[in-house]
């Protein structure tokens, strides 16, 4: 072997030793880190479990237990023709003790109410006398339209803000009263907007198509006689 070959071998060995000396600490650090992670992993898992248990204790999930006894008070046949639905949003302010002592005993909340109002015609109130055939024309006397449902959508309704006095935790019935007022206001808003008029118009349109399909080509709806005011 020549001197040149020996120099190449020696340089190669030196390079290998240098790389080994540099890489060895890195490899050792990696091994130590993996060992530490494996050692502390059970502790971290235990800490997460403890945090979860503490959170469940501080914020328990409500448990709903229905009474196994069910009482059916009444069964009634219905023939309601629902012809229109309103979706109404209303903001209700409810207050208690807002006079002189409001700073100490006052209670005030803002309730955002989302409600549904459904109206139509109750066909069970019709009789054979309400249908009259004259000269190939069908005369129909419809019952007065009415509101069937006026209720809150509990999934969308919520208390936006509430302020209480320093010496009170709030009136427990205040939100209940706000909900009751919201239902009344939602019904009032729908009626003022003409939901009953639209309910009658939609009922007439639907029944016209129904009677036409039964062979009655000319359908005339008789306007109800106005009730005299006392």
Q: Which residue has the higher pLDDT, 53 or 136?
A: 136
Q: Is 107 exposed, middle or buried (0-12, 13-18, 19+ CB in 10 A)?
A: buried
Lowest-pLDDT range, 25-29, 45-49, 177-181, 216-220?
25-29
Q: Is 120 exposed, middle or buried (0-12, 13-18, 19+ CB in 10 A)?
A: buried
For residue 4, pLDDT over 80 is answered with no
| Mean pLDDT score of the chain | 76
Please state the domain extents for the chain. 1-58, 80-221
Query: What is the value of pTM for the model shown?
Result: 0.64
Q: What is the pLDDT of residues 123-174, one digit of tens each?
A: 999 888 888 988 888 999 999 999 999 999 988 988 887 776 555 566 677 7
């Amino acid at each position: 072997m020549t001197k040149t070959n020996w120099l190449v071998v020696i340089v190669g060995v030196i390079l290998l030793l240098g790389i080994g000396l540099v890489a060895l600490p890195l490899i050792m650090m990696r091994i130590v880190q993996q060992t530490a992670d494996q050692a502390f992993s059970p502790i971290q898992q235990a800490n997460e479990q403890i945090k979860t248990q503490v959170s469940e204790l501080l914020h328990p999930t409500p448990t709903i237990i229905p009474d196994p006894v069910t009482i059916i008070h009444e069964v009634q046949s219905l023939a309601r023709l629902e012809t229109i639905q309103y979706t109404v949003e209303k903001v209700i302010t409810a207050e208690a003790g807002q006079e002189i002592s409001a700073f100490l005993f006052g209670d005030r909340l803002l309730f955002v109410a989302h409600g549904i109002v459904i109206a139509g015609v109750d066909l069970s109130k019709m009789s054979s006398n309400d249908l009259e055939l004259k000269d190939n024309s069908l005369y129909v006397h419809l019952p007065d339209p009415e509101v069937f449902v006026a209720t809150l959508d509990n999934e969308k309704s919520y208390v936006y803000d509430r302020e209480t006095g320093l010496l009170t935790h709030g009136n427990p019935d205040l939100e209940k009263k706000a909900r009751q007022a919201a239902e009344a206001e939602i019904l009032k808003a729908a009626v003022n907007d003409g939901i009953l008029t639209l309910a009658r118009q939609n009922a007439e349109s639907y029944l016209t198509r129904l009677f036409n399909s039964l062979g009655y080509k000319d359908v005339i709806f008789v306007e109800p006689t106005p009730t005299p005011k006392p």
